[in-house]
Structure 1
Amino acid sequence: MAQDIKSKFRWPQFNWRGAIAIVGFFAAWHFFVKLGVPGFKEIAAPFDVLQTFLTRYVNNQEYWSSWVSSFKRVLYGFLIAQVLGIPLGLMLGTREVFHNLAYPVIEILRPIPPLAWVPISILFWPTTEMSIIFICFIGAFFIIVINVHDAVRSIKNEHIWLAQSLGASSGQIFRRIMIPSVIPSIAVGMTLGIAVTWNVVIAAEMISGGNGLGRLTWEGYVSHTVTVVIIGMISIGLAGYLSTIVVDYLEKKMMPWRVVR
């Protein structure tokens, strides 16, 4: 019994090369600041940033509530984008009439940067929170729609014809051929979407106001407190990294046939 459990459970391997790279990055940062290398003169050293974090933020409830606020906005915007984007991508790929009507509109709206929607979202939505969530939604929505649409359109007609010749119904073709073919593209859309969503939410918090990691970084810039700016930047990086870990876990559950190396 214990042997079976041990064989199924695998501890994640420690990436020592990555650890060395991170240590080397902070060491280079420290020495560049201390040596006064151009461009680093006005930047705080890593130990100054750490000291500011330990004295002002580690026990600061407002700082951790900024984490929660940013995570909630990213989560809501990301989930809404998946719930609406995946069915829309499937319809665009499978319904020719709908594709001819809706796809040109999507192609016009898709190149618009998410931040260009900020003024409209502030005017349209009644609260700042809803406007920021909407911007997060926009950041991930078009990515997932286009990925799913392209995946459906790339399915070979021979596969569908073969299934039809064997007596498969439209529902069976959708479940057994289209959905498995689309899942890898959904996974790619999720990976790209979560990264864009974090980029967008930070900028939206800076512009729209409210709390959050983006607002924390902006306030550090306005007050000319470099250590606060760097704390905000590192916090954003860690938050995005944690979100990517969750998305990677979901991808593995969605595609169990992939070999994990």
Structure 2
Amino acid sequence: MIRILTGFALAAVAGIALGVLVARSRWAGDLLLPPVEVVRPIPAIALVPIAILVFPTDEQGIVFITFAAAFFPIMVSTRHAVRALPTLWEDAVRTMGGGRAHVLWNVVLPGTLPGVFGGLSVGMGVAWICVISAEMISGEFGVGYRTWHAYTVVDYPAVLVGMASIGVLGWVASASVELLGRRLTRWLPRAGESAEGDIR
């Protein structure tokens, strides 16, 4: 859980920040998007050899793999969410004297929350897949390592327990992200509420 939470938190901060930057700034998009798009198709688990070479401990390498797995879904979802915002909202705030910082904090970030949390949910799922795989390849402890070790010693009951543990922990982590997203977007109208309001 420490590996997941550390890598995921770093990916959330970096992914949201970069997604907003490349969507709001043309020069940043032209400069940063090409290298990001070149790296994005590379599976995070394929970075394990690089992580082993670059980071002095397996723990740091596994956190890096988790970060790389979650970063791209979060960044892409944030970028699309920012670009999908109606320009009318920003124009209205600017007409009333709002500056760029005011627009960012009061229009862009709140308006993109549904899209951002969609990316966070996907990122959490991908991060779990990759952290388990990284533990199996280069870890010394963890659910993934224990599950693989049980397989190598032909302890199939322990393998099943490990698989069940991975599923439950992954579900709890993804459900927590979705619950937080619903709590932070309670002010948004729901589809059923909008239809009911139109009928009335």
- TM-score, normalized by the shorter chain, greater than 0.5: yes
Residues 209-252 of structure 1 deviation map (CA, whole Å, 9 limit, x = unaligned): 21000011101211122211111100100111121232122112
Please give the per-residue CA displacement for 1:73-131, whole angstroms capped at 9, x wherever unaligned: 11111011011111111111111101100001111111110111100011000000000
**CA RMSD, aligned part only?**
1.7
The alignment partner of 1:159 has SS state of helix
Aligned to 1:242: 172
State how far apart, in whole Å, the 1-side matches of 2:3 and 2:113 are: 25
CA distance in structure 2 between the aligned counterparts of 1:207 and 1:179, rounded to whole angstroms: 38
Aligned to 2:76: 146
Which amino acid letter does the alignment assign opposite residue 143 of structure 2?
A: L
- Partner-residue secondary structure (3-state), 1:155: coil
1:174 equivalent in structure 2? 104
Assess if the C-alpha contact under 8 Å between 2:48 and 2:134 holds in 1. yes
Determine if contact 2:59/2:139 at 8 Å carries over to the other structure: no
* Percent identity between the two aligned chains: 35
Q: 1:184 aligns with which of 98, 103, 114?
A: 114
In 2, Cα distance between equivalents of 1:125 and 1:203: 17
Amino acid at match of 2:41: P
**Residue identity in the other structure for 2:183:** K
Instruction: Please tell me whether residue 227 in structure 1 is matched to residue 178 in structure 2.
Output: no
Structure 2 counterpart of 1:99: 29
1:140 is matched by which residue type in structure 2? A
Gap runs ≥5 in structure 1: 1-70
Distance in 2 (CA, whole Å) between partners of 1:192 and 1:148 is 12
Separation of aligned partners in 2, 1:131 and 1:90: 27
Q: Structure 2: any 5+ residue segments left out of the alignment? A: 193-200
Q: Which amino acid aligns with 2:184?
A: M
Match of 1:206 in 2: 136
Letter of the structure 1 residue corresponding to residue 61 of structure 2:
S
Residues 1-261 of structure 1 mapped to structure 2, 5 A cutoff: 71-258=1-188
Shift in Å, 1:168? 2.3
SS in 1 for 2:42: coil
SS at match of 2:88: helix
More helix by share: 2
- Letter of the structure 2 residue corresponding to residue 145 of structure 1: M
The more displaced of 235-244 and 249-258 is 249-258
Amino acid across the alignment from 1:98: A
> What is the alpha-carbon distance in structure 2 between the residues aligned to residue 201 and residue 187 of structure 1?
20
Return structure 1 stretches of 4+ with deviation > 6 angstroms.
none
| Distance in 2 of aligned mates of 1:86 and 1:219 | 37
- C-alpha separation in 1, matches of 2:28 and 2:139: 39
Contact 2:44 2:65 in 1 (8 A): yes
